[in-house]
């Protein structure tokens, strides 16, 4: 049997939809843990090591410098900007764990840049290169529904340099609930500011979020949180054309105009 046939059979037998697991999360053993809460716990007044501006849906002089977490919900402030992985609009008890870490690890920041570029290839990498990653993770989170169920396992990586901020969402499993609220919203969470690609019908966590994608891998989503994206990089085409012309002239005649020396 050929190698390709074997691989094909393995692919079929193992189930054709590869999905993410916890090992695919952004992990940095030396990240700083800002808060870790269980069930209905919450933590607030967590200061960020940088300020974040230019966030979609907020007045553009907003400077977000603090974080808070509740089950499935990361809030940045002021003013309060909620980024939900799973939440219910009415009071509900939660089970599970929510954790917020911050990482400056260079290889993880490069990975984030690659993930963002896969979705936004035209953006200048130097302009959007993240200096910090906020790692917000929910582990087996589910709203109390009377029984113990398999909860949501997901990570939101907020990759930011203060001026440009992108979300990378990795979903291993969702607890599907038509009352769950996902996306980004202001204090009044009836006003959805950024709807996630894996949300359905104005905000709930889609049951197929772990198998779909808006980029290249099932369960992975890249989200633009920016009020304004950077202008496209200035085209270097003219200089490239000049350089090509200079090299051609040199080959054909050996004589080149003086401005060509910059390309030789």
Ligand X SMILES: *[C@@H]1O[C@H](CO)[C@@H](O)[C@H](O)[C@H]1NC(C)=O
**Does 195 help bind ligand X (rule: CB under 6 A)?**
no
Cis peptide before 159 (omega within 30 of 0): no
Residue 27 lies near ligand X (rule: CB under 6 A): yes
Whether residue 155 is preceded by a cis peptide bond, meaning omega within 30 degrees of 0, is no
- Between β-strands 183-185 and 192-194, what pairing exists: parallel, antiparallel or unpaired? antiparallel
Residue 16 or 30 having the CB closest to ligand X: 30
Quick one: which segment of 10-18, 24-32, 170-178, 245-253 binds ligand X (CB under 6 A)?
24-32
Separation of alpha carbons 141 and 70, rounded Å: 11
Count of residues that bind ligand X according to CB under 6 A:
7
Instruction: Please report which helix (H) or strand (E) contains residue 250, including its range.
Output: helix 237-253
131 part of the interface to ligand X, by CB under 6 A: no
Identify the residue among 30, 90, 236, 258 touching ligand X (CB under 6 A).
Answer: 30
Whose Cβ is closer to ligand X: residue 56's or residue 144's?
56
What DSSP element (H or E) covers 8? helix 3-13
If binding is defined by CB under 6 A, does position 24 make contact with ligand X?
A: no
30 vs 261, which CB is nearer to ligand X? 30
Select 135 or 153, whichever has its Cβ closest to ligand X: 135
Q: CB–CB of 226/165 below 8 Å?
A: yes
CB 167 within 8 A of CB 83: yes
Closest to ligand X by CB, 30 vs 201, is 30
Whichever of 28 and 66 has its CB closer to ligand X, that residue is 28
Residue pair 82/185 in contact by the 8 Å Cβ criterion: yes
Site map for ligand X, 75-114, x if CB under 6 A? ------------------------------x-xx------
Report if residue 28 touches ligand X, rule: CB under 6 A: yes
Q: How far is the CB of 1 from ligand X (least distance, A)?
A: 37
Phi, psi angle pair for 83, to nearest 5°: -125, 105
- CA 176, 180, 186, 189 dihedral sign is positive
Tokens of 210: 């772990």
- For the segment 43-62, give every residue that binds ligand X (CB under 6 A): 60
Residues that bind ligand X (CB under 6 A): 27-28, 30, 60, 105, 107-108
């Amino acid at each position: 049997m050929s190698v390709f046939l074997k691989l094909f059979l393995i692919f079929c037998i193992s189930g054709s939809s590869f999905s993410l697991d916890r090992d695919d999360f952004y992990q940095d053993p030396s990240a700083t843990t800002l808060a870790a809460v269980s069930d209905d716990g919450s933590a607030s007044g967590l200061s960020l090591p940088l300020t974040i501006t230019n966030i979609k849906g907020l007045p553009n002089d907003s400077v977000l410098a603090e974080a808070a977490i509740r089950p499935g919900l990361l809030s940045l402030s002021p003013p309060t900007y909620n980024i939900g992985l799973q939440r219910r609009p009415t009071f509900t008890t939660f089970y599970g764990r929510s954790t917020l870490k911050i990482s400056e690890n260079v290889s993880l920041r490069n990975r984030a840049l690659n993930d963002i570029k896969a979705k936004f290839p035209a953006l200048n990498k130097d302009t959007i290169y993240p200096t910090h990653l906020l790692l917000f993770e929910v582990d087996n989170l589910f709203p109390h529904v009377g029984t113990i169920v398999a909860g949501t396992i997901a990570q939101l990586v907020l990759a930011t340099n203060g001026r440009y901020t992108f979300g990378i969402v990795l979903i291993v499993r969702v607890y599907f609930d038509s009352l769950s609220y996902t996306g980004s919203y202001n204090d009044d969470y009836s006003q959805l500011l950024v709807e996630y690609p894996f949300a359905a019908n104005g905000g709930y966590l889609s049951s197929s979020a772990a198998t779909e994608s808006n980029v290249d891998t099932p369960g992975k989503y890249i989200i633009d949180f920016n009020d304004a994206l950077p202008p496209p990089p200035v085209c270097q085409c003219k200089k490239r054309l000049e350089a090509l012309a200079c090299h051609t002239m040199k080959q054909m005649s050996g004589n080149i105009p003086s401005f060509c020396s910059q390309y030789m």
